[in-house]
Structure 1
Amino acid sequence: MSTDELAETKALAYIEEPPITNDIETFFTNYASIPASALREHLITIRERVWQKCNYPCLGQWRFLHFSIKQNPIYAEILEKCKNEGATVIDFGCCLGQDVRQLVYDGVPIDQVRGYDLDPFFIEQGYELFRDGKIMKEKKVFGSGDIFDNQFLESIEPADYLYVDLFIHLFDAETQRDVCRRLARLAKRAIAGRQSGAKVAGERP
């Protein structure tokens, strides 16, 4: 990618300041023991590191601070089933793993959640972002692998709920069908999430 293309990408997909709300401050104070006075610098440091690795809009626009799983219509059901019936959750394409942390923060036992991403770099940066690498590694919550690797998929025990956030749109239309078939193998009860799309059908670069 040329310098001009990089500049254009940043102009469209990059927001300088982290959107620190009271909820975000409270989460990082309680979950990661990061005081409000240190939070801005901490978030910027991690975001710059992952942005240099990959210019995804979800990173440039701080979407990993949306904790989107809690906005899902069946989130209350997921929490209830996990807490009272031992249901399990997989976050596939978890990137920094923010939604796994939201589940744990909201009381889901850590042994009932797992996250998978193609690139272990993002999982490692998630440990840095949330300062929980020791317990997450001990519990083997996260793993890395390719959705097109059948051996990898077969090694994953299906969960009651599969959460897939801003992932399927990364593939062309034909490949998306294969991706969805593969994801369906990992869910016993329901698949939830959000994806990017357009009102006018078509593939975008």
Structure 2
Amino acid sequence: MQTAQTVESVPQKISLGDITADPDNVPTPQEQYYKMTAEQSMFFKEQTGITDDEELKRHVLSVQAEAYKVAPYPCIMGFVFTSLLLTRLPAYEDVMTIGRTRAGAILLDLGCCVGTDIRKAVADGFPAENTIGSDLHQEFGAIGHKLFKTTPETFAGHFIQGDALDPATLSIVEPFETAPESPRPDLKALTSLNPLQGRVSAIHASNFFHLFSESKQLHLARAVAGLLSWEPGSIICGGNWGLHEKGTMVERLFGGSLELFCHSPQTWTEMWDGVVFPKGHVKVDTHLIQVDMEGFKFWYMLWSVKRL
């Protein structure tokens, strides 16, 4: 008589860019990392309708736990998704000026997580129906609605799931020098970013590029550049870890450890101005600042790439 063999299930790995995580072997979320500035508290109270500090904290902790199960990024552990990253960028006013003055201007947040930066831009005047958040993890769209107590019917912004390294989601084309010949796509019907090529006036990508190797960062930069509108002033901006000299750094935050490739301001500028875009077609600004988080000091690069 044959006996049935027991087959052990293989733990499913979760993609965090070039890094994969075993969900059964990641640091446990800690309530101690929760904090809100006065600006953040006011924003989330206005957006959620929750006015009590403790109730708001419980709500955010619940959302954090759900998002962390989907993808255990250190930025979710550290509540970076509540920090209004886009407003910290020197280019934020450029983004908002585009939204207020350029008819039909599209704002794309690449690697949007739960979409906090899109919500802040909309609160400050960018038309919600012209905003798109995109992330590898489909679940973040619904979790974002949970965080802000909205539904797809009550919030006009759009969410597109996809892998930015997959040509079916985002293929590489040369930067546009004139307006696309095809008609503007229906943003509500999009399942890929490719129909947006040459049409996006403002692109935000924070805590995104440093998740990938140097070669993949160049691939992504080329792909993102193909999305940008040909119009002068159109802008790509974001923030990621940097170094004075490009190389690898080891992040040790919140009980975990990640090895990441980081550009320097010089190599970041050279990549965009001369490799991704023809030399002299864009203005690249970089600001390298030192950040101290939970006793770990690292350099963070704020940057923008603006079409001339």
- Shorter-chain TM-score: what band? 0.7 to 0.9
Q: Larger % of strand: which?
A: 2
Q: Which structure 2 residue ranges, 5 or more long, are not aligned?
A: 1-21, 171-193, 249-258, 261-308
1:31 is matched with 47
Map residues 35-54 of structure 1 onto 2, 5 A cutoff.
35-37=51-53, 38-54=55-71
What CA distance in whole angstroms lies between the structure 1 residues aligned with 2:33 and 2:81?
14
Given that 2:23 and 2:72 are in contact with CA atoms closer than 8 Å, whether structure 1 keeps it comes out as: no
Look up the SS of the partner of 1:115 in the other structure: strand
- Larger Cα-atom Rg: 2
What CA distance in whole angstroms lies between the structure 2 residues aligned with 1:145 and 1:98?
18
Q: What's the CA shift for 1:32?
A: 1.8
Q: What's the CA shift for 1:140?
A: 5.5
What CA distance in whole angstroms lies between the structure 2 residues aligned with 1:32 and 1:100?
15
1:57 aligns with 2:89: no
Out of 67, 92, 99, the residue aligned to residue 75 of structure 1 is 92
Given that 2:81 and 2:116 are in contact with CA atoms closer than 8 Å, whether structure 1 keeps it comes out as: yes
CA distance 1:44–1:184, change in 2 (3 Å): same
Q: What's the CA shift for 1:21?
A: 2.5
What CA distance in whole angstroms lies between the structure 2 residues aligned with 1:142 and 1:30?
22
Given that 1:156 and 1:186 are in contact with CA atoms closer than 8 Å, whether structure 2 keeps it comes out as: yes
Out of 96, 106, 113, the residue aligned to residue 88 of structure 1 is 106
Q: What's the CA shift for 1:103?
A: 0.6
Out of 20, 26, 50, the residue aligned to residue 6 of structure 1 is 26
Given that 2:196 and 2:227 are in contact with CA atoms closer than 8 Å, whether structure 1 keeps it comes out as: yes
1:161 is matched with 202
What CA distance in whole angstroms lies between the structure 1 residues aligned with 2:132 and 2:23?
37
What CA distance in whole angstroms lies between the structure 2 residues aligned with 1:119 and 1:166?
15
CA distance 1:145–1:161, change in 2 (3 Å): same
CA deviations over 1:76-116 (Å, ceiling 9, x no partner): 12212211223321111111111000011111111221111
| Bigger RCO of structures 1 and 2 (CA < 8 A, at least 6 apart) | 1
1:21 is matched with 37
CA distance 1:196–1:27, change in 2 (3 Å): same
Look up the SS of the partner of 1:148 in the other structure: coil
TM-score, normalisation: structure 1 = 0.86
Question: What is the aligned residue count?
Answer: 199
What CA distance in whole angstroms lies between the structure 2 residues aligned with 1:171 and 1:163?
17
Q: Which structure 1 residue ranges, 5 or more long, are not aligned?
A: none
Look up the SS of the partner of 2:152 in the other structure: helix
CA deviations over 1:26-70 (Å, ceiling 9, x no partner): 112222212224101001111111122222111011111111111
Identity of aligned residues (%): 24
Q: What's the CA shift for 1:169?
A: 0.9
